[in-house]
C-alpha cells in the first residue's frame, strides 16, 4: 500500500486501482507499468479480459472502425484479416497485447467493484466478495457499450422460445431452419441480419426507425499484404496514419458541422446505396426521415441485399406486445417466431454506475449525475479527486476510434498524476466553475452538429443534447495535449 508523504513533501509509491479490463483498462495497466508505477490492480468482474469484445459474440460481429486504426499505436498488428476485422479477432488481439505487456499479473478476475469512497486522501475500494483495498488514484475504464438496454415491451417474458440480447448471445440455440425475429436495426442488428439470413428459414426484422447505410466494403488482407506488414512495421504505421487522416478529415471533423461538404457527400452516398433496393415500396420503408449521420451511420456492404432475400420480412408497424407464439404489431398481425433477439443497444449513460461512488464529504456521484452524467473534458468530476475516467461522459464516442481516444486521454491523465507523484499536491480535481463552464460551452457547440438535425439517437441525452464531444477531433487532440491547470484544484 502507499506510504504517507515524506518530510520533504514527496510521497511514497502511488497505488492505482483500475476498474475494468477491457480495451481501456489494458491500456491503463500497460502505460502505468511503463511509467514505473507497478503498485496497481485491475479489477475485472468477468473471468476474462476484453470488455465489449468479450461480451458481444453475436454472428457477424465486427468493428465499424478499420482494424489498423482500432489498434493500440504501440502494438500494431500486421495480421488483421480484414479492413474491418471480426470480433473474435479483436478479442484475441487485446488478449495477446495484454500477455505481451504483462498485464495479467495485475488483474483480479471475477472481482466486481461495488463501492468507491474517498476519505482521508485516498480511495477506499470495496468489491462484491467483500474485499477491501486502498488507492491513491482510481482509473475508471468501465466502458460505454456495456449495459444492455432491454425494451419495455409488454409480455416480453412470455415468449415461449429463446429470447436474448445481442450482447448476451445464446450460442446453445441452433438457428438452422428457425423463424428468427430481430427487434431493432442498429449496427449489431444489421450485422446479425447479414450473417444469418441464409441460415434461418424466416427472418423478421422489426424496424422502429429506418437507418442510413453507408456501403463500405470489407476486403480481406491477403497473405502477401500481411507478409509485407510483418516485414516492414513502418508500413503498418503508415497505413494507420493514412486511415486516421481519412477518418478524421472525412468523418470525425465533418459531423460536428451539419453543413460541411463531407456530411453532404455522406448523404449522397447513402442515397445512392438506398437506390439499389429494387422494390419501391420496400425502398420507401427503408428510407429515413432525417439526415445521414444524424444517427450513427450503419456501415454495411450488403444489408440491403440481405433485406431483399425472399425469406426476410421487414416489419415497420409498431410492436404492441410479445406473446408466447411471437410478436403482435399494431396492425393486429401476430408474427410467429421460434427465436427472438433484442438488438436494442445499450444504456450508454451508465459509465461508472452501478458502482456506488462517494467523493469528498460523502457526495454521491449518482446524485451529481441526476438527471444526466457529465464530466470536465470527459475525464474527471469536481469533488472526486484522483478519479479519472477513460471514455467518460461526453467524449468523442460518436466519431473516432475509442482506442485513439483512450490513448490521448491517458496521456493527459498521466500529466495530472505527475503532480501527485512528485509531491506538488495530494489531490487533484477540476474546479466546479471550470466544469460548469466546459459543460455550457459543450452544450452550445452541440447545437451545430449533425446529431441535432432531426433524429432521436443514443447520442442524445434527456434534453435532446448530444452527449458527445461536439468539436473537431483536432481540437480534442489539442485539449488532451496539456491539461489547463488553472481549471483544476490542487490540494497539498
Tell me how far apart the alpha carbons of residues 401 and 252 are, in angstroms, rounded to a whole number.
10
Confidence of residue 6 (pLDDT cuts 50, 70, 90): very low
What does the pLDDT read at residue 5? Answer: 38
Using the predicted structure, report yes or no on whether residue 191 has a pLDDT greater than 60: yes
Evaluate if residue 67 carries a pLDDT over 80: yes
Domain boundaries, the chain: 16-49+103-147+347-491
Average pLDDT value over all residues in the chain? 95
pLDDT (average), residues 278-288: 98
Q: What are phi and psi of 46, to 5 degrees?
A: -95, 180
Rounded to 10 degrees, what is the CA torsion of 274, 279, 283, 286?
A: -110
User: Mean pLDDT throughout 194-207?
Assistant: 98
Q: How many CB atoms lie within 10 A of CB 248?
A: 21
Mean pLDDT, residues 353-361 taken together = 97
pLDDT of 305: 98
Of the chain, the percentage scoring pLDDT greater than 70 comes to 98
User: What's residue 242's pLDDT?
Assistant: 94
Evaluate if residue 4 carries a pLDDT over 50: no
Pairing of strands 326-329, 312-315: unpaired
Mean pLDDT computed over 342-370: 96
Mean pLDDT to the nearest integer, 174-183: 98
pLDDT digits (tens, 9 = 90+) for 433-452: 999 999 999 999 999 999 99
H-only helix segments in 156-207: 187-196
CA dist 186 and 478 (Å) reads: 32
Cα dist from 80 to 66, 229, 300, whole Å: 10, 10, 19
pLDDT-based confidence at 1, cuts 50/70/90?
Answer: very low
The long-range contacts involving 268-273, CB below 8 angstroms and separated by at least 24 positions, are 269/214, 269/215, 270/212, 270/213, 270/214, 270/297, 273/213, 273/214, 273/215, 273/304
Is pTM, for the whole model, over 0.85? yes
pLDDT at 192 over 50: yes
pLDDT score, position 202: 98
User: What is the Rg, in whole angstroms, of the alpha carbon atoms belonging to the chain?
Assistant: 23
Q: In Å, how far are 16, 90, 442 from 53, measured between CA atoms?
A: 25, 7, 30
pLDDT at position 397, please?
87
* Cα distances (Å, whole numbers) of residue 82 to 247, 358, 387, 470: 17, 44, 37, 31
Give the CATH fold of the 16-49+103-147+347-491 domain.
Answer: FAD/NAD(P)-binding domain (3.50.50)
Picking from 109, 128, 125, the residue whose alpha carbon sits closest to that of residue 25 is: 109
- Helices 402-421 and 473-481 sit at what angle, rounded to 10 degrees? 20
> What is the spatial distance between Cα 409 and Cα 389, in angstroms, rounded to a whole number?
9
Bridge-based pairing state of the strands 163-165 and 339-342: parallel
Tens of pLDDT, residue by residue over 225-260, are 999 999 999 999 999 999 999 989 888 889 999 999
Percent of the chain with pLDDT over 90: 94
Nearest to 105 by CA among 31, 13, 33: 33
Closest of 462, 466, 440, 463 to residue 453, by C-alpha: 466
pLDDT at 11: 62
Confidence of residue 3 (pLDDT cuts 50, 70, 90): very low
Please report the pLDDT score of residue 351 as a whole number.
93
Please give the average per-residue pLDDT across 339-355, as a whole number. 96
Distance CA 162, CA 159 (A): 8
Q: Is 384 exposed, middle or buried (0-12, 13-18, 19+ CB in 10 A)?
A: buried
Band of pLDDT at residue 7, cut at 50, 70 and 90: very low
Q: Distance between alpha carbon 165 and the CA centroid of its chain, in Å? A: 17
Cα gap 274→219, rounded to integer Å: 21
Q: What does the pLDDT look like over 76-133, one tens digit per residue? A: 999 999 999 999 999 999 999 999 999 999 999 999 999 999 999 999 999 999 999 9
Which range, of 203-212, 288-297, 307-316, 396-405, averages the lowest pLDDT? 396-405
Amino acid at each position: 500500500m502507499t506510504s504517507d508523504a515524506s518530510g520533504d513533501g514527496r510521497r511514497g509509491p502511488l497505488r492505482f486501482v483500475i476498474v475494468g479490463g477491457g480495451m481501456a483498462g489494458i491500456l491503463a495497466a500497460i502505460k502505468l507499468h511503463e511509467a514505473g508505477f507497478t503498485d496497481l490492480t485491475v479489477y475485472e468482474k468477468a473471468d476474462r479480459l476484453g470488455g465489449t469484445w468479450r461480451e458481444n459474440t453475436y454472428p457477424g460481429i465486427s468493428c465499424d472502425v478499420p482494424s489498423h486504426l482500432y489498434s493500440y499505436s504501440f502494438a500494431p498488428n500486421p495480421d488483421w484479416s480484414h479492413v474491418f476485422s471480426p470480433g473474435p479477432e479483436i478479442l484475441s488481439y487485446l488478449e495477446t497485447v495484454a500477455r505481451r505487456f504483462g498485464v495479467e499479473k495485475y488483474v483480479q478476475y471475477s472481482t466486481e467493484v461495488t463501492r468507491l469512497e474517498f476519505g482521508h486522501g485516498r480511495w477506499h475500494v470495496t468489491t462484491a466478495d467483500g474485499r477491501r483495498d486502498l488507492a491513491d488514484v482510481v482509473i475508471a475504464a468501465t466502458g460505454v457499450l456495456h449495459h444492455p438496454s432491454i425494451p419495455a415491451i409488454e409480455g416480453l417474458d412470455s415468449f415461449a422460445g429463446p429470447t436474448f440480447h445481442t450482447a448476451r448471445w445464446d450460442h446453445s440455440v441452433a438457428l438452422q431452419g428457425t423463424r428468427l425475429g430481430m427487434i431493432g436495426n442498429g449496427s449489431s442488428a444489421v450485422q446479425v441480419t447479414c450473417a444469418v439470413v441464409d441460415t434461418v428459414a424466416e427472418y423478421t426484422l422489426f424496424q422502429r426507425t429506418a437507418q442510413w447505410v453507408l456501403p463500405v466494403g470489407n476486403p480481406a488482407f491477403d497473405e502477401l499484404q500481411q507478409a509485407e506488414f510483418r516485414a516492414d512495421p513502418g508500413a503498418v504505421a503508415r497505413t494507420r496514419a493514412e486511415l486516421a487522416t481519412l477518418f478524421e478529415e472525412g468523418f470525425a471533423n465533418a459531423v460536428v458541422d451539419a453543413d460541411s461538404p463531407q456530411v453532404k457527400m455522406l448523404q449522397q452516398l447513402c442515397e445512392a446505396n438506398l437506390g439499389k433496393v429494387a422494390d419501391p415500396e420496400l425502398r420507401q420503408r427503408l428510407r429515413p426521415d432525417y439526415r445521414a449521420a444524424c444517427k450513427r451511420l450503419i456501415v454495411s456492404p450488403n444489408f440491403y441485399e440481405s433485406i431483399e432475400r425472399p425469406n426476410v420480412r421487414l416489419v415497420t408497424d409498431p410492436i404492441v406486445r410479445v406473446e408466447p407464439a411471437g410478436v403482435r404489431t399494431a396492425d393486429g398481425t401476430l408474427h410467429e417466431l421460434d427465436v427472438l433477439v433484442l438488438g436494442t443497444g445499450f444504456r450508454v449513460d451508465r459509465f461508472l454506475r452501478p458502482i456506488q461512488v462517494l467523493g469528498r464529504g460523502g457526495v454521491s456521484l449518482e446524485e451529481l449525475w441526476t438527471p444526466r452524467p457529465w464530466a470536465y473534458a470527459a475525464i474527471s468530476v469536481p469533488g472526486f479527486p484522483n478519479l479519472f475516467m477513460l471514455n467518460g461522459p461526453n467524449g468523442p464516442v460518436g466519431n473516432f476510434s475509442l482506442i485513439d481516444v483512450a490513448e490521448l486521454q491517458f496521456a493527459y491523465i498521466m500529466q495530472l498524476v505527475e503532480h501527485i507523484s512528485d509531491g506538488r499536491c495530494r489531490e487533484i480535481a477540476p474546479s466546479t466553475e471550470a466544469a460548469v463552464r466546459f459543460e455550457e460551452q459543450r452544450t452550445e457547440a452541440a447545437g451545430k452538429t449533425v446529431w441535432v438535425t432531426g433524429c432521436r439517437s443514443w447520442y442524445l441525452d434527456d434534453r435532446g443534447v448530444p452527449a458527445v464531444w461536439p468539436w473537431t477531433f483536432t481540437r480534442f487532440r489539442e485539449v488532451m495535449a496539456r491539461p489547463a491547470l488553472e481549471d483544476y484544484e490542487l490540494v497539498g
